[in-house]
Structures are given as structure tokens and as C-alpha cells.
């Protein structure tokens, strides 16, 4: 009986860490960070618009360990130069339900591995150009994390702490995601 209990407990732990949460080795994590750095480092020196206003709706479901955020960001080109491309980085682990810009870009490239969207315009956006970024994101925390550093204590039944980097997109390259 005790052997059966140990097997069931071990199987449950394996299922929650490897299947529900999706196990990722530290080597794969480093490779993903290196790939992010190689691919998107050029955006660190590119101009991106300034966020001038944010309207946000945030729905929290702590007993289900999930949230949904929807909002509109007002942007303006205050860089002193025309903008040809914008890098939009959505929070890690979020599912992107909607991401749209106005004026509409000529092309949008989505990188689902890194939750990055690159919007490009054939005619660069001039200085002082106003823009709008609309978004809808959601995240559901599943399973048990692979290590205690990943333990998600942001969304819990007795108190939730979410800052902007977990619920809204950011603009430009993020140096914190490097190796």
C-alpha cells in the first residue's frame, strides 16, 4: 500500500512539473536567451515610441491561477527621428489574443517562441506621430514550476501582486532577457 502511495505521488509530481508546466532544462533556457539576444539585440539601438497613456482592464481569477488583461496604449514618436519598425514584447507565458496598431503597419512578424511582434511600416512614422496599440493577453499558470525561483506567487487567493511587466506589452529590446 505504501509503495502504491509513493508511486502515485511521484507520478502526480512528474505530471504537474513535466506535462502541465512544461519542463525546460537550464540548457534550453540558455539557448533560448542566446537566440533572443542574437535575433533582437539590434533593436536595442533602434528608436521606439514613448507610451503617453495607458487604459487597462485586468480580470483576475486567483482560484484558477489565471488573469486576462486588455488595454489601449497611446504612443507618440518623441525620438527626433522617423520610426520604421517597433518591437513589441509581450510578457513571458502570456497568450496573445489580440495585438493591433494604428496606423496599421505594412507587415507584422510574430515570434511565438519569444512572444515578440515586429511591426514595420513602408513609410517611416514621422516625428510626433501618434499611435495606438490595442492588446488582449491572458495567462493561466499550470502545474508546478521546475525550480523554486520560478514559483509563481504573484496570483494567489489571499493577495495578488502583478506589476506592469507581467500584464502589458513593452516596447523595444529587454536587456534583462539576455544570458
Higher local confidence (pLDDT), 135 or 5: 135
- Residue 149 is predicted with a pLDDT of 46
pLDDT tier at 3, thresholds 50, 70, 90: confident
| pLDDT the model gives residue 169 | 96
**Residue 146: left if φ>0, alpha if ψ -120 to 50, beta else—which one?**
alpha
Q: According to the model, what pLDDT value does residue 148 have?
A: 47
Q: What would the DSSP string read from start to end of 24-39?
A: --HHHHHHHHHHHHHH
Tell me what the mean pLDDT of segment 139-150 comes to: 63
pLDDT in tens, 16-48: 666 655 667 789 889 999 999 999 999 999 999
Cis peptide, bond prior to residue 126, ω within 30 of zero: no
% of the chain beyond a pLDDT of 70: 85
Q: Is residue 62's pLDDT more than 90?
A: no
User: Whole-structure pTM over 0.95, yes or no?
Assistant: no
Contact between residue 147 and residue 159 where contact means Cβ atoms under 8 Å apart: no
Rounded to an integer, what distance in angstroms lies between the CA atom of residue 71 and that of residue 69? 7
All cell numbers assigned to 33: 536567451
Q: For position 71, what pLDDT does the model report?
A: 97
**pLDDT, tens digit, 9 for 90 and up, residues 114-138:** 999 999 999 999 999 999 999 999 9
DSSP codes, 118-145: EEEEEEEEPTT-EEEEEEEEEEE--S--
pLDDT of residue 130: 96
Amino acid at each position: 500500500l505504501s509503495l502504491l502511495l509513493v508511486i502515485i505521488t511521484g507520478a502526480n509530481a512528474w505530471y504537474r512539473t513535466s506535462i502541465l508546466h512544461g519542463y525546460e532544462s537550464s540548457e534550453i533556457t540558455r539557448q533560448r536567451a542566446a537566440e533572443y539576444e542574437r535575433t533582437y539585440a539590434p533593436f536595442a539601438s533602434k528608436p521606439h515610441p514613448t507610451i503617453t497613456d495607458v487604459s487597462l482592464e485586468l480580470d483576475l481569477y486567483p482560484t484558477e491561477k489565471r488573469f486576462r488583461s486588455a488595454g489601449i496604449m497611446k504612443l507618440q514618436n518623441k525620438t527626433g527621428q522617423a520610426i520604421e519598425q517597433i518591437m513589441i514584447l509581450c510578457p513571458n507565458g502570456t497568450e496573445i489574443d489580440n495585438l493591433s496598431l494604428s496606423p496599421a503597419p505594412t507587415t507584422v512578424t510574430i515570434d511565438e517562441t519569444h512572444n515578440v511582434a515586429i511591426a514595420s511600416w513602408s513609410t517611416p512614422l514621422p516625428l510626433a506621430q501618434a499611435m495606438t496599440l490595442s492588446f488582449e493577453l491572458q495567462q493561466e499558470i499550470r502545474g508546478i514550476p521546475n525550480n523554486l525561483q520560478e514559483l509563481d506567487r504573484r496570483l494567489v487567493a489571499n493577495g495578488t501582486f502583478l506589476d506592469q511587466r507581467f500584464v502589458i506589452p513593452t516596447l523595444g529590446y529587454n536587456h534583462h532577457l539576455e544570458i
